[in-house]
């Protein structure tokens, strides 16, 4: 199908897929196998040498996973995608084609706590250097760029605090420095925000969250816009210089706009192995089919609850970009015109102890470390997802000790409000 001519809802149902040519099955099959038969010795050699597309071994490519990759690329209006085992794996594969030992990225200080840990500690093992800067100040990104900087990294809708970044202004900084901007779009999804429309080069996702939507399958993805020129040998040698493992093939010369994506599959998945399983890809494809409907309901419920909690005596503050009182309201309307998502935080007047009592006092909300489920979820980030951070880092990330994070689901909104009111009553007591 000519995907770029169809609307989002149509792409969510059809992109990358077709009825099975042998059986006529309409749903994408689960290709639960490891390897694929070659037509001949020459055919096998051409596949291994990247001279023609096809399937070799499911660590690299798999038919079910390939449908998911094509669908995600279509939803973001990108040229290609690499699907991974998790969102954290996607962040590593997003940077692998760009980075050499000693290289540097500039990252927003308002990120998921696990991302801050990954970048601030684990990346150092590969001598990848990271500076975290004030996410709300585009000039801070510009000031932190060095000659070894290979990317900027942000969440357009930051987890957990619901902060909306000025995506276009940060993209202008990246453009002026001639480096790619990577946007983790997990919280917004491509339904609420299309980062490539505002100048981003790459997007990453934890497909575990809203894209899958039922909390049953881990996954991640990296999507390439195709709008950044990686053919810079001194800056990106992995993509623009001869690759010895492929007989000195040069990815940018051979594959053009698909160079970044094919490198992620042919080198990233081959050598690091963070492959998404076919069953998880199948479940994520099913989830994406209802993504537009779910996100509309997520946003509708979240806004109703945020408005209710804004007037609650036990709540000192509600941090939700969909509220007119939010400092990010105008940015939210610009970058998230269909809604500000379903995840936001509240600051409890009773502080740390009240926050603990609240997460223990809910019944409908599930107390667990995830977001984006059809069911409503609640968490105290300071003692869980952001527990490894310093007090200063917690505050900068919007995860202070008095904060409670809500991921509002699809239940009847009056039932959710009643559940929260009861839990807040217990917290106040």
What percent of the chain clears pLDDT 70, i.e. is strictly above it? 96
pLDDT higher than 70, residue 387: no
H or E element that contains 308: helix 291-310
Q: In angstroms, what CA-CA distances link 240 with 94, 104, 216, 249, 265?
A: 16, 19, 39, 9, 16
Q: Are 340 and 330 contacting, i.e. CB atoms less than 8 angstroms apart?
A: no
pLDDT confidence of residue 3: 45
pLDDT higher than 70, residue 360: yes
**Cα 333 versus chain centre, distance:** 20
pLDDT higher than 80, residue 257: yes
Q: Are 316 and 349 contacting, i.e. CB atoms less than 8 angstroms apart?
A: yes
Instruction: List phi, psi (to 5°) of 297.
Output: -70, -40
Dump pLDDT digits (tens) for 10-47: 999 999 999 988 899 999 999 999 999 999 999 999 99
pLDDT higher than 50, residue 104: yes
Candidate ranges 152-161, 332-341, 355-364; pick with highest mean pLDDT = 332-341
Q: Which domains, from first to last, does the chain contain? A: 3-98+180-287 (3.40.640.10), 291-428 (3.90.1150.10)
């Amino acid at each position: 199908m000519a995907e770029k001519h169809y609307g989002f809802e149509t792409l969510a149902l059809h992109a990358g897929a077709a009825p099975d040519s042998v059986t006529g099955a309409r749903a994408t099959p689960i290709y639960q196998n490891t390897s694929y038969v070659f037509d001949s010795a020459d055919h096998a050699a051409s596949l291994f040498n990247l001279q023609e597309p096809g399937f070799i071994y499911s660590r690299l490519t798999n038919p079910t996973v390939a449908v998911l990759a094509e669908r995600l690329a279509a939803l973001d209006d990108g040229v290609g995608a690499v699907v991974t085992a998790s969102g954290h794996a996607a962040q590593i594969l997003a940077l692998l084609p760009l980075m050499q030992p000693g290289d540097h990225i500039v990252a927003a200080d308002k990120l998921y706590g696990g991302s801050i840990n990954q970048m601030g500690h684990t990346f150092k093992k590969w001598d990848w250097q990271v500076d975290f800067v004030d996410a709300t100040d585009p000039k801070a990104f510009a000031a932190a760029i060095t000659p070894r900087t290979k990317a900027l990294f942000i969440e357009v809708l930051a987890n957990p605090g619901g902060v909306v970044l000025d995506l276009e202004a940060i993209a202008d900084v990246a453009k002026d420095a001639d480096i790619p901007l990577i946007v983790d779009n997990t919280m917004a999804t491509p339904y609420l925000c299309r980062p490539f429309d505002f100048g981003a080069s790459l997007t990453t996702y934890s497909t575990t969250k809203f894209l899958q939507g039922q909390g049953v399958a881990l996954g991640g993805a990296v999507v390439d816009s195709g709008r950044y020129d990686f053919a810079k040998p001194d800056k990106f040698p992995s993509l623009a210089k001869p690759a010895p493992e492929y007989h000195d093939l040069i990815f940018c010369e051979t594959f053009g706009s698909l160079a970044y994506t094919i490198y992620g599959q042919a080198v990233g998945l081959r050598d690091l192995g963070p492959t998404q399983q076919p069953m998880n890809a199948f479940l994520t494809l099913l989830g994406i089919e209802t993504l537009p409907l779910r996100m509309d309901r997520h946003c509708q419920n979240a806004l109703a609850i945020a408005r209710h909690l804004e007037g609650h005596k036990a709540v000192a503050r509600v941090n939700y970009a969909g509220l007119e009182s939010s400092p990010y309201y105008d940015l939210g309307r610009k970058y998230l015109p269909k809604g500000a998502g379903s995840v936001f935080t509240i600051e409890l007047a009773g502080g740390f102890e009240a926050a603990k009592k609240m997460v223990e006092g809910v019944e409908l909300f599930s107390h667990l470390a995830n977001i984006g489920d059809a069911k409503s979820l609640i968490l105290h980030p300071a003692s869980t997802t952001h527990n490894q951070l310093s007090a200063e880092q917690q505050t900068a990330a919007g995860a202070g000790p008095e904060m409670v994070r809500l991921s509002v689901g699809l239940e009847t909104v009056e039932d959710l409000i009643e559940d929260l009111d009861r839990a807040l009553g217990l917290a106040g007591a």
